[in-house]
Amino acid sequence: MSDDQSLELARCKADADRYRLLAEQSTDMISRHTPTKEWTYIDASPAVETVLGYTPEEIIGMAGYEQFHPEDADNLSKRDDSVRYRSGVYTNVYRYRHKKGHYIWLETTSRVIRDDSGNPQEIICVSRDVTEREEAQRDMRRLARVVEASSDMIMFCNHKTHKLTYLNESAYHTLGAEKDKPVIYYLSQLFSEDILGTLIKDALEHASIHGVWYGSIPMQLDPELNRVAEIREIIAHRNRRENDQVEYYSLIGRDITLRLQAEEEAKRHQLELAHMSRLLSVGEMATGLAHEVNQPLAAILNYCHGTQRRLEEGDADPVKTVSGSMKLIMKQAKRASEIIKRMRSFVRKTDYQCFAFPINDSCKEVSAFLCQEAQDHNITFDFQFGDNLPPLVADKVQIEQVLLNLMRNAIEAYNDCNKAYRPVIITTKAAEGYIHVSVEDKAKGISSEGLAKLFEPFYTSKTTGLGMGLSISRTIIETHGGQMWAESDGQTGTHFYLKLPLREQ
């Protein structure tokens, strides 16, 4: 062997030693395999113990193909999406069985070594454990699927330009756009100018300082969409590599069209129930009302007969007689008219109308409506009104319906009571931002069992009652932001309480 050959051989040996040292020190697993389907290990670097748990001696001769996860074993032959190819080098990401039995994610770069005739001699692979990376990516993909499938609107907004860089399916649907035909949106297109300059600006600043903002900001959508949406939450996302500056915002909103429609439907249903309750109340009072209306009509008839008789007998001053009779007739006709007007006002079907009115006057009006029924049962109304009460802002018809129900219940409480003194005490006062009204009777009271069920629908102690009056009454009061409850010792009477908030009209 010549000196040149010896030098070349020594240089090759030194290079081989360096390469082996590099392979042995590498944290990546370097392995050699047979080119057969079994992919048998011929050699492996010491890193195999860190990556797969085997020593090099244990893994040499092992069929590598058998350790692949069944779903990933044919990635290379199928050219799966996890496989990348470039200039004779394959990079594959797959699951591989660890010595302890669990699977880890490997990223392997492999090349086939061929002889001068092109026949494969062996396969050289460089593999690294990418489990943490793949699981993080899988979590991100799962999160992305959740975001995409969410019924809430989720939008990403650039911190500086306020351009929306991402919208999920719900956001596209609410905005009337299609995901297959993306549209560029800016915040200025989704909110009115005054809201953008006040509420949105403040919300973004709050999120940038505190990380998140919660609230409710109405969006301005195309009127033709007939949709109502609002932003409920804004999250600020920071870039840790750029001085922790806000990079973008997540805007989370909700299409509340169906909710508003359901609320409107519920309100209509409540109004229908309230109207039916008033009709039933009038039906129950029909006899008393007929008697009350009959009184002025009978008086008018008597005045007419009396005047006619005096005229037939040759009254000395017929004009004065007729004039006096007309005044009396007008007074009784007005009284009958007021009774009818009061009845029609009570039973008419109305929308929810909120305006200011004095609660004391309403108590008196309702008691006047029940005047005949009270007289028939020897009931006395005792008013203990607070002075200079502020007006109550509410639906007057509905509040009077509640008062009527409570006063009638108080009157009927005396039906099986032999007490001579039968008061219905109505008290009003203002305290701590509320109007307080109480209706009290001195009858036998209600048992503790009855009190527990008193406001349940269809519960009644009356033989002819439907058990809806108190349930509807409490719903009306709670709809107005108030409270309604009852107290009784079961022996000396019952006390119903109303508490209604004072507010501006």
- In whole angstroms, what is the distance from residue 227 CA to residue 153 CA? 13
Range 11-25 average pLDDT: 57
Residue 396 binned pLDDT confidence (cut-offs 50, 70, 90): confident
Task: Judge whether residue 273 has pLDDT over 90.
Answer: no
Task: Judge whether residue 331 has pLDDT over 90.
Answer: no
Q: What pLDDT does residue 287 have?
A: 52
Both tokens assigned to 120: 């494969």
Range 175-199 average pLDDT: 86
Range 248-268 average pLDDT: 83
Backbone torsions φ then ψ of 213, nearest 5 degrees: -130, 140
HEC letters along 76-103: HHHCCCCEEEECCEEEEEEEEECCCCCE
Q: Which residue has the higher pLDDT, 296 or 154?
A: 154
Task: Judge whether residue 335 has pLDDT over 80.
Answer: no
The Cβ of residue 118 has, within 10 Å, a number of other Cβ atoms equal to 6
Q: What pLDDT does residue 294 have?
A: 62
List Cα–Cα distances, 247 to 137, 212, 236, 238, 244, in angstroms.
21, 14, 8, 5, 9
Q: What pLDDT does residue 379 have?
A: 87
Contact present, 382 and 424 (Cβ < 8 Å): yes
- Coil, helix or strand at residue 266: helix
* H-helix segments, 313-395: 318-347, 359-369, 371-376
- In whole angstroms, what is the distance from residue 481 CA to residue 200 CA? 29
Degrees to nearest 5, angle at CA 137 with 131 and 139: 100
Instruction: Report the range out of 205-209, 338-342, 417-421 with the highest average pLDDT.
Output: 205-209
Range 286-313 average pLDDT: 69
Both tokens assigned to 400: 């009077």
| Side chain identity, residue 107 | E
The Cβ of residue 174 has, within 10 Å, a number of other Cβ atoms equal to 22
Range 154-163 average pLDDT: 90
User: Which residues 6+ apart lie within 8 Å of 430 measured at CB?
Assistant: 386, 389, 390, 436, 502
Q: Is 384 exposed, middle or buried (0-12, 13-18, 19+ CB in 10 A)?
A: exposed
- In whole angstroms, what is the distance from residue 253 CA to residue 191 CA? 13
HEC letters along 200-212: HHHHHHHHHHHCE
Q: What pLDDT does residue 233 have?
A: 93
- In whole angstroms, what is the distance from residue 139 CA to residue 145 CA? 10
Residue 348 binned pLDDT confidence (cut-offs 50, 70, 90): low
Average pLDDT score over the chain: 81
Question: What angle separates helix 286-312 from helix 257-284, to the nearest 10 degrees?
Answer: 50
- Per-residue b or e along 14-37, where b marks 16 or more CB atoms closer than 10 Å to that residue's CB: eeeeeeeeebeeeebbbbbbbeee
Range 143-171 average pLDDT: 86
Task: Judge whether residue 239 has pLDDT over 70.
Answer: yes
> DSSP labels for 425-489?
EEEEEEETTEEEEEEEE-SS---HHHHHHTTSTT--SSSS--S-HHHHHHHHHHHTT-EEEEEE-
Range 380-401 average pLDDT: 87
Q: Cα 214 from chain centroid?
A: 14
Phi-psi region of 249 (alpha: psi -120 to 50; beta: other; left: phi over 0): beta
Asked which of 89-103, 349-363, 404-418 is least confident by mean pLDDT, the reply is 349-363
Degrees to nearest 5, angle at CA 123 with 118 and 129: 150
- In whole angstroms, what is the distance from residue 301 CA to residue 289 CA? 18
Task: Judge whether residue 290 has pLDDT over 70.
Answer: no
Question: What angle separates helix 257-284 from helix 318-347, to the nearest 10 degrees?
Answer: 140
Percent of the chain whose predicted confidence (pLDDT) is above 90: 22
- In whole angstroms, what is the distance from residue 464 CA to residue 288 CA? 17
Q: Is 192 exposed, middle or buried (0-12, 13-18, 19+ CB in 10 A)?
A: middle
Residue 350 binned pLDDT confidence (cut-offs 50, 70, 90): low
The verdict on pTM exceeding 0.75 is: no
Render pLDDT for 40-65 as a digit per residue (tens, 0 to 9). Answer: 999 898 888 999 999 999 999 999 99
- In whole angstroms, what is the distance from residue 182 CA to residue 86 CA? 34
Q: Is 463 exposed, middle or buried (0-12, 13-18, 19+ CB in 10 A)?
A: exposed
Compute the CA torsion angle 66, 68, 72, 73 (nearest 10 deg). -30
Residue 323 binned pLDDT confidence (cut-offs 50, 70, 90): confident
Q: What pLDDT does residue 358 have?
A: 93
Contact present, 340 and 416 (Cβ < 8 Å): no
Task: Judge whether residue 21 has pLDDT over 80.
Answer: no
Phi-psi region of 432 (alpha: psi -120 to 50; beta: other; left: phi over 0): left
H/E element, 133: helix 131-149
Task: Judge whether residue 18 has pLDDT over 90.
Answer: no
- In whole angstroms, what is the distance from residue 469 CA to residue 278 CA? 9
